[in-house]
Amino acid sequence: MEPPADSKLIKGWWVYKPKVSAKDELILATSETSIKNWNICFNGKCEELPKNQNKPLKLYACDSK
């Protein structure tokens, strides 16, 4: 797989920031072949999401009010 045309090689790694809009929700699925659960990272910390037993997980932003 070739890096996108507007990517840059920085310190030996191809860096690319796709131009996509914000999403209202994100659906994460697993399969019987998945070895690890999904992790979510924010504020410099990562946490493993609960096992979803082959049912998709839906992540969405909460109203902060």
Query: For the chain (length 65 residues), average pLDDT per consecutive 10?
Result: 90 90 83 71 87 77 73
- Provide the token pair at 56: 């998709």
Looking up tokens 């399969």 gives 31
d(CA 60, CA 21): 15
